[in-house]
Amino acid sequence: MTTQGRLPSTIWRALTVLAGMVAPVFAPGGAGALAAPAAVLAAGDIAHCGEAGPKETAALLDGLRGTVLALGDLAYNNGTAREFRDCYDPTWGRYKARTRPAPGNHEYGTRDAAGYYGYWGARAGPRGRGYYSFDLGAWHLIALNSSIDARAGSPQDTWLAADLAASRARCVLAFWHHPVFSSGRHGNIERMRPLFRRLYEAGASIVLGGHDHLYERFAPLDPEGRPDPARGIREFVVGTGGARRYRFGSIQPGSEFRDRDHWGVLRLELGATDYGWRFIGTDGRALDAGRGDCAPRAGGAQ
């Protein structure tokens, strides 16, 4: 019998969540000194009014520390000011002060995503642009907008190249809504591949997306989807914030783990040169977990 089988489910959930909050890591080269990594909690495809999913994932976040990354399609069906007020705000909105958002296609159901920018204000980056960056612990985090022009040479691509060149962080994470790789209903989204390539060339380590309402983890890949253990970017699809879940379609090369049966959030521990992941379902169980090393930055950024 497993340890979980000997404990009541309520106690097991509490212990699992607590472990996710306080588990220490050892600082590299620190002779055993403890270092607390920065924590990130991520999901997209969240809030339909009156549905159970967003209420359950919001309750899960109540017990988890960390910066929340909201991966687009936050207020269904059209990202109106009313939907943000009545659907998103009563659930995930209670973490607004610690949330960094990215817009999804449903936000653009309202002209110019006015409901999205009106709700988030400065936290969404410059109005109408929706891409911005910030530092968290030892990491540089970049929010991109997959609903506007992302072609090579576009204003967003030009900004991204300059932002990556200016950052001296050892590790880089980027997040947006439409994933480049996905085994879900929508499949691979080509429009973001030029920005994925830009990130790969600069030595980014992690990309997060949503859009397909499921969870999927990929091996480190190059921009063409080929395995690259040394320099590849690990992509996570986390469309599990509360919207009705999808089935998987054609399984893409490089897909290492998939789940379409649970809502939940991805918790990332961002260390000085590495990271850990844990996909936590709304019952508090870790459904997927592991660790990885940061990719080497171009130009030796530290």
Give the model's confidence band at 299: pLDDT under 50 very low, under 70 low, under 90 confident, else very high: low
For 39-296, CATH number out of 3.40.920.10, 3.30.460.80, 3.10.20.30, 3.60.21.10 equals: 3.60.21.10
pLDDT value of position 37: 83
**Residue spans per domain, the chain:** 39-296
Q: Which helix (H) or strand (E) is 43 found in, with range?
A: strand 38-43
- pLDDT tens profile 160-218: 999 999 999 999 999 999 999 999 999 999 999 999 999 999 999 999 999 999 999 99
Task: State the pTM of this model.
Answer: 0.88
Q: What are the C-alpha distances in Å from 197 to residues 15, 88, 232?
A: 40, 33, 10
3-class secondary structure per residue, 197-249 = HHHHHHCCCEEEECCCCCEEEECCECCCCCECCCCCEEEEEECCCCCCCCCCC
Look up residue 174 and give its amino acid. A
